[in-house]
Amino acid sequence: MLKPALILLGLAGVLAAQGTRADYERAARMKALVTAELGQMALRPTWLEDGSAFWYRKGLPGGGAAWIRVEARSGARRPAFDHAALAAALARVTGRPVDAERLPLQDLAFLDGGKRLRFRTDEGWWSIDPRKGAVSPVQPPPEAPPAPRPDDDPPPRRTAAPVRSPDGLKTAQLRDANIVVRTLGGKELFRTQDGDTQNPYTGALDWSPDGRSLVAQRTTVVPVRKVTFVESSPKDQLQPKVHVHDYAKPGDPLPVVRPVLIRLEGGGRAFPADETLAPTPYFGYGEDLDIHWAKDGSRFFYVYNQRGHQVLRVIAVDAATGASSAVVDERSATFIDYSGKQFLDFLDDTGELVWMSERDGWNHLYLVDSRTGQVKNAITRGPWVVRRVLHVDREKRQILFLAGGLVPGQDPYQLHLARVGLDGAGLTVLTQGDGTHTVTLSPDRRAFVDVWSRVDQAPVAELRRTSDGARIAEVERWNPDALLKAGWRLPERFVAKGRDGRTDIHGVIYRPSTYDPARRYPVIEYIYAGPHGAFAPKAFTHQPLHADLTELGFILVCIDGMGTNWRSKAFHDVCWQNLGDAGFPDRILWMKAAAAHDPAMDLGRVGIFGGSAGGQDALRGLLAFGDFYKAGVADCGCHDNRMDKVWWNEQWMGWPVGPAYAEQSNVTNAHRLRGDLLLLVGETDTNVDPASTLQVVNALVKADRDFEMLVVPGSDHGTMRIPHVERRLKDFFVRSLLGVKPRS
């Protein structure tokens, strides 16, 4: 049965040809086309070790590929090797035909300056000299450790093996929870006596440059919370499996790691670190301190991150006395974004350090005297943010970095490469073009490859000089003709004022290929308001999840409201102990302004969906703003910040755990549900405790609220990319917002 509100809209064209089987089929075709075309636009340059050239894989129409080499000085382009000759050589050794435009090359590496290629096919690993054309089998390269994800903890530096001193005469080693120092001949020089199973020395050892001292680390061990879940349908057995893993949550006791200075002169002595400047350090399980010794061995430094993330210090410890002093003392009344905006680099020859801080309200770099702690000068300044430091040149005393908001008149989230002197002089923007820039520096940093685009402009790849930003050559320029001929519509960037009436809120609007401005379309927001980043797409090749929803008769929007990252500190601070806000006041104002701009946007029928923190946000929209949002899909949401991982939630909600945690919990507020809700959860989610979703279910049942739910057996974090779940999400919105039977 159609909803009354939709029946009243009647002949206005709202229901015609929306959510039908033809729409689903067109959506599938459009998704396949967009995925293929955008995949052809990817350019990932790999520089040769000497910086003389780089190579990249170029997608060809129809799914083929070619490998191109570009010379750094001239920008001259040519095939990286003879594709036909390699195809013929591979055919000879594999005994099957090989298409020169579809070479089955995986893990390709250019060795010896490009004189030799190593690659993998389904048959094994191979090497070829492009000049001779002969392919020969080779042993696979040593396995590299997996690249860390942004949310991974740093790998521990612990080792049971002896660590040799810089003078090569001594070793230090962890033994029975203590540290033993010996000569190379095995004579014991010093042994700690106070380590035990509850307070062991960890084994992360850092010798002083002169070999007279070393820093060991001692850990206070605490119980680790365990999360248990049941895998109902394991692949290797009939009966369910029970899984248990370590998972600290907000407020849990955490290990405490402190440095211990060991001086070897006079028979040896251990100096435990003074706790006055470091009373409540924050550490995850398995983490170590990152120790940096002064060049002369007179002091060592470490970073103290106070639990609650409102104090961040660089502490210096005198190697002669063990006395501690604060070289940098960063404080915030809200939070310090240690996970996204921390940068520290020691300039040992000059006794300086480069430090990142939001102390003036924007994320910038500062030059600090590492002896006195005095700020010598701000390196960068202005109403824009440093996003990432790429290189500190000690000889030229310059820094290469990526920044957002640096170019006036452009979207403040767009990244540009810039250079500045350590004295703050000579700020130069090295990238050109109104778009967001992905930069790959050559190993010698004399040149860089710049791939830039916007959501409404296809990518351009350029080779530029780092000295002045001058363009050496245009490498590639893509166009979206195939997409446009198929009816795909360029997304629209849209800006409206936020809740304060002054701040620009940026977002993107996606419309169907069948868009008719005379019709009315329900609006669906794809949300992720995690404060660690900003998420509305900026690059042409970045498509939001399920952008093909538009083809079913919807307009899709993505918005970055207040409380998300990469604007001013005040913009970011909106999230402080306030994750339930999720920028909704700004998002709703933005959509109202967008609907005034485009009356085809029907704000009487607004849906919302997201995963993880976005799942938390999607449900929050129905609980706190149910007068605006009429339907939502929440996937693997961290619905109660007391139930989720410790580091992410204490970063934004604070520590100790206070009343804001419960006040903004989706569980606490479940009785306020309005609108249609579909809950999704992965049965074996190791990122967010699946019980977080089930506790929402419990509260909804107790409040007698109607909802739908899908538990996906065997799925880890994030289920919306699973084909069945994707269909269920689309069907849900078609039923709820269009009021029709899917694929009818």
Q: Averaged over 345-366, what is the pLDDT?
A: 98
**In a 10 Å sphere around its CB, with 0-12 CB exposed, 13-18 middle and 19+ buried, how is residue 191 labelled?**
middle
pLDDT at 35: 95
CA angle 241, 246, 249 (to 5 degrees): 120
CA gap 688, 694 in Å, rounded: 12
The yes-or-no verdict on residue 1 having pLDDT over 50 is: no
Rounded CA-CA distance 637/242 in Å is 22
Phi/psi at 618 (5° precision):
-60, -45
Indicate if the pLDDT at residue 6 is higher than 60: no
Q: What is the pLDDT of residues 178-234, one digit of tens each?
A: 999 999 999 999 999 999 999 999 878 999 999 999 999 999 999 999 999 999 999
Task: Give the C-alpha separation, 259 to 171, whole Å.
Answer: 18
pLDDT at 545 exceeding the cut of 50: yes
Tell me which H or E stretch contains 483. Answer: helix 481-485
Instruction: Report d(CA 43, CA 453) in Å as an integer.
Output: 12
Question: How far apart are alpha carbons 422 and 342 in whole angstroms?
Answer: 18
Sign of CA dihedral 719, 725, 729, 732: negative
Domain boundaries, the chain: 46-137, 490-738
Beta pairing class for 311-318 and 324-331: antiparallel
Kindly give, in sequence order, each residue whose CB lies less than 8 Å from that of residue 697, ignoring residues fewer than 6 positions away.
679, 707, 709
Please state the rounded mean pLDDT for residues 151-158: 46
Tell me how long the chain is: 744
* pLDDT score recorded for residue 640: 98
Instruction: Say which residue the tokens 């290797």 belong to.
Output: 236
pLDDT digits over 546-568, tens only?
Answer: 999 999 999 999 999 999 999 99
pLDDT tens readout for residues 297-319: 999 999 999 999 999 999 999 99
* C-alpha span between 614 and 638 (Å, rounded): 9
In sequence order, which residues have a C-beta less than 8 Å from that of residue 203 and are 6 or more positions away? 158, 159, 160, 173, 174, 216, 217
How many CB atoms are located within 10 Å of the residue 166 CB? Answer: 14
Mean pLDDT of the region 327-348: 97
Peptide bond preceding 656 in cis form (omega within 30 of 0): yes
Band of the pLDDT at 655, cuts 50, 70, 90?
very high
Amino acid code (one letter) for 340:
G
What is the band of 145 on the pLDDT scale with cuts at 50, 70, 90?
low
Categorize the per-residue pLDDT at 406 as very low, low, confident or very high, splitting at 50, 70 and 90: very high
Neighbouring C-beta atoms of residue 183, cutoff 10 Å:
12
Per the CB < 8 A criterion, the answer to whether 507 and 560 are in contact is yes
Region at 179 (left for phi over 0; alpha for psi -120 to 50; beta for the rest): beta
pLDDT digits (tens, 9 = 90+) for 422-458: 999 999 999 999 999 999 999 999 999 999 999 999 9
Q: How many CB atoms are closer than 10 A to CB 289? A: 23
Q: What is the mean pLDDT of residues 626-655?
A: 98
pLDDT at 17: 59
- Contact call for residues 540 and 491 (beta carbons, < 8 A): no
Per 3-state DSSP, what percentage of the chain is helix, strand, and coil (rounded to 5)? 20, 35, 50
pLDDT average, residue stretch 412-429: 98
Inter-residue contact 103 to 90 (CB < 8 Å): yes
pLDDT digits (tens, 9 = 90+) for 688-698: 999 999 999 99
Contacting residues for 445 by C-beta, under 8 A, at least 6 apart: 391, 393, 400, 466
Mean of pLDDT values over 145-169 = 65
Contact 518, 65 (CB under 8 A): no
Q: How far apart are CA 650 and CA 337, in angstroms?
A: 11
Which pLDDT does position 78 carry in this prediction? 95
CA 131 to chain centre: 41
Which residues are paired to 451 by β-bridges?
438, 461
CB 363, CB 381: distance < 8 Å: no
Q: Does the pLDDT of residue 14 top 90, yes or no?
A: no
pLDDT at 505: 98
Query: Token pair of 715, please?
Result: 């799925």
Q: Are strands 226-231 and 46-47 parallel, antiparallel or unpaired?
A: unpaired
Pairing verdict, β 163-164 and 170-175: antiparallel
**Phi–psi pair at 366, nearest 5 degrees:** -135, 145
Rounded CA separation 138/146 (Å): 22
Paired tokens of 621: 């929209």
Calculate mean pLDDT across residues 499-507: 98
* Alpha-helical regions (H) of 191-288: none
pLDDT tens readout for residues 26-84: 999 999 999 999 999 999 999 999 999 999 999 998 889 999 999 999 999 999 999 99
Task: Please state the separation of Cα 636 from the chain's center in Å.
Answer: 18
Residue 296's alpha-carbon distances to 164, 211, 351, 469, in angstroms, are: 18, 11, 10, 38
Residue 3 is predicted with a pLDDT of 46
Per the DSSP assignment, residues forming a β-bridge with 226 are 246
The proportion of the chain whose per-residue pLDDT surpasses 70, expressed as a percent, equals: 95
Q: What does the alpha-carbon distance between residue 495 and residue 586 come to, in Å, rounded to a whole number?
A: 11
Tokens of 635: 């996937």
- Are 125 and 118 in contact, with CB atoms under 8 Å apart? yes
Query: 327 with 346: CB under 8 angstroms?
Result: no
Task: Name the one residue in this structure whose structure tokens are 């992965």.
Answer: 682
Angstrom distance (rounded) from CA 582 to CA 499: 13
Q: Do residues 475 and 70 touch, judged by C-beta distance below 8 A?
A: yes
Task: Using DSSP bridges, classify how beta strands 65-71 and 447-454 pair: parallel, antiparallel or unpaired.
Answer: unpaired
How deeply is 648 buried, as exposed, middle or buried, from its count of CB atoms within 10 A (0-12, 13-18, 19+)? buried
**pLDDT value, residue 228:** 97
CA-based angle 126:127:130, to the nearest 5?
135
Q: CA-CA distance, 283 to 647, in Å (whole number)?
A: 9
What is the pLDDT, as a whole number, of residue 466?
Answer: 98
Determine the residue type at 689: D
Look at the domain 490-738 and name its fold: Rossmann fold (3.40.50)
pLDDT at 7: 37
Indicate the DSSP class of residue 281.
B
> For residue 717, which of 685, 678, 693, 690 has the smallest C-alpha distance?
685
pLDDT at 159 over 70: no
pLDDT cut 90: percent of the chain above it: 88
The pLDDT confidence band at residue 113, using thresholds 50, 70 and 90, is confident
Q: What is the distance between the alpha carbons of residues 355 and 347, in angstroms, rounded to a whole number?
A: 11
128 φ/ψ sector (left φ>0, alpha ψ -120 to 50, else beta): beta
Q: φ and ψ at 609, to 5 degrees?
A: -150, 155
Say if CB 530 and CB 564 are below 8 A apart. Answer: yes
CA–CA gap between residue 279 and residue 313 (Å, rounded):
12
Is the per-residue pLDDT at 478 higher than 50? yes
